[in-house]
Copies of this chain bind each other. A is one copy, B any other.
Amino acid sequence: MHEFALIDRIRKQFSQTQPEVLLGIGDDCALLTPRATLAVSTDTFVEGTHFFKGTSARAIGHKALAVNLSDLAAMGAKPLYFLLNLTLPNTDESFAHELLAGIHALAALYQCALIGGDTTRGPLSITITVFGECPADKALRRSAAKAGDEIFVTRKLGAAAAAVYARKQNIKASTALCKALDFPDPQIALGMALRGVASAAIDLSDGLVNDLSHICEQSALAATLQAEDIPVSPAIDDLPGINAQQALQFAVNGGDDYALCFCASPLRREELHAICANLDLELFHIGVMYAKSDASQGSVQVWHGAELLPIARGFQHF
Please list the residues of chain A having a beta carbon within 8 angstroms of any beta carbon in chain B: 1-4, 22-23, 26-34, 37-44, 46-50, 71-72, 74-75, 77, 83, 85, 87-88, 90-91, 115-123, 125, 127, 129, 132, 134, 136, 139-143, 201-203, 218, 316-318
Contact = CB atoms under 8 A, between A and B. Distances in A.
Contact of A22 (B3, B30, B127, B136): B136
B50 A120 contact: yes
Contacts of A202: 28
Nearest to A42: B83
A44 B3 contact: no
A139 B32 contact: no
Q: By CB atoms of chain B within 10 A, which of A2, A47, A50, A75 has the most?
A: A75
Contacts of A42: 83, 85, 116-118, 127, 129
B40 A122 contact: no
A100 B262 CA distance: 33
Contacts of A116: 40-42
Nearest to A43: B118
Q: Which 3 A-B pairs have the closest CB atoms?
A: A46-B122, A28-B74, A29-B39
Contact of A71 (B28, B43, B83, B119): B28
27 contacts: A4-B316, A26-B142, A27-B218, A28-B72, A29-B75, A29-B77, A29-B132, A29-B139, A30-B39, A31-B39, A31-B40, A31-B139, A41-B116, A42-B117, A42-B118, A44-B125, A46-B87, A46-B121, A49-B121, A49-B122, A83-B129, A90-B318, A119-B317, A121-B317, A121-B318, A122-B123, A129-B129
B27 A143 contact: yes
A30 B37 contact: no
A240 B41 CA distance: 48
B26 A218 contact: yes
A122 B125 contact: yes
A72 B37 contact: no
A219 to B, nearest CB: 11
Given A117-B42, A123-B122, A125-B87, A27 B318 contact: no
Contact of A317 (B3, B41, B83, B201): B3
Nearest to A38: B32
Contacts of A39: 29-32
Contact of A44 (B23, B43, B87, B140): B87
